[in-house]
Amino acid sequence: MTPAEKSLVQTSFAKVAPIAEQAAALFYGRLFEMDPSLRPLFKGDIREQGRKLMNMIAFCVQGLDALDQLVPAVQGLGKRHAGYGVTDAHYATVGGALLWTLEQGLGPDFTPDVKAAWTTVYTVLATTMKDAAHAPS
């Protein structure tokens, strides 16, 4: 991930943060549309889950400049998600829903460069989570 990619992700997320609640609702709506079998993994209040999602994305976006602190947190997240029943295949669906949500939230600001930057950052974070989920405890 390049400094330019980090900057694009951070700048674009700053534009989505003010509509975090709507973005979370869009995300989960799209996620369950893409794969209805994921719905049972979310047992609690989906609005609260949406707040947690947006807080975690904000933490990750801010943490791109401090990977030494971000990586252990993302690894822990990967281990926890494995315990919830998340599989490697789910990460592609989540990535698709995330990119779609960003496109809806950013409109014309969701340029090909912004999409590529988010794809790179998501891939790095998802790979870190999957690797941690498969690592021996």
Q: What's the CATH number where 7 sits? A: 1.10.490.10
Residues ≥6 apart with Cβ < 8 Å to 105: 15, 16, 19, 22, 23, 26
Average pLDDT for residues 69-84, to the nearest whole number? 93
CA distances from residue 102 to 17, 20, 22, 24, 124 in whole angstroms, order as listed: 11, 11, 11, 10, 18
The domain in which residue 23 lies consists of: 3-134
Q: What is the pLDDT of residue 136?
A: 84
pLDDT (tens digit, 9 = 90+) per residue, 106-133?
Answer: 999 999 999 999 999 999 999 999 999 9
Q: 């791109």: which residue's tokens?
A: 64
The residue that leads in pLDDT, 51 or 85, is 51
Q: What is the pLDDT of residue 8?
A: 98
Check whether 137 has a pLDDT greater than 80.
no
pLDDT (tens digit, 9 = 90+) per residue, 20-37?
Answer: 999 999 999 999 999 999
Q: How many domains does the structure of the chain reveal?
A: 1
